[in-house]
Amino acid sequence: MKKWYFNLKNESLLAKNDLTLSFLFYQAVEDMDRGIIKIPDSYDIDIHFLKDNHRYLDFLKHVHKFSGYGELVFPHCPCDSRKNGHVIAALNSSCFQLRACSSEGELEPNKVVEFKYEDFVNIDVDNEEMAFVFEIKISNKPNKTIKIYTGFYLYMFDCVKKAQEEKIKKLIYNKENTD
């Protein structure tokens, strides 16, 4: 089971339920242990103390500020926009990322492309090729279609669709509350 919401406000509402709070806590612990959540060396709160003593709310209150929190990272896979090597696809509340890596999954430094959800023109799946397919709007250039070949293509499609929906709802909510 993986986290489904990419909106911190929605997540905090869901965390009022003890079972959900426990799930969010253990997901964050796993992400921290796997290196997805990056804790700054200079952070003055002992995160490990909060984790080890199961201080769920305090722990989540602090780790949601860190890079990687709430990210969903997929295993490396081939992508038609890379001639050599693979990509690691990642989603968070603000964007969809393609991180360049070798065909063994070794990240290539400073080779990350971010796509904002509002720049997606179309998303789809190719069941025959087991690929997540998206068309992206690029300023001053024609739209570009990208295929990511992964066994998780359906899940990737669902996650991007959900993240887009949340982003749209947030934009509408913010607009209504500023008018």
User: If you average pLDDT over residues 60-71, what whole number do you get?
Assistant: 88
Q: Whose CA is closest to 70, among 132, 154, 155, 11?
A: 11
pLDDT at residue 2 above 60? no
pLDDT at residue 4 above 80? no
pTM above 0.85, yes or no: no
What are the phi and psi torsion angles at 59 (to 5°)?
-60, -50
| Residue 102: per-residue pLDDT | 94
pLDDT at residue 16 above 60? yes
pLDDT at residue 63 above 80? yes
pLDDT digits (tens, 9 = 90+) for 122-163: 999 999 999 999 999 999 999 999 999 999 999 999 999 988
User: If you average pLDDT over residues 160-169, what whole number do you get?
Assistant: 84
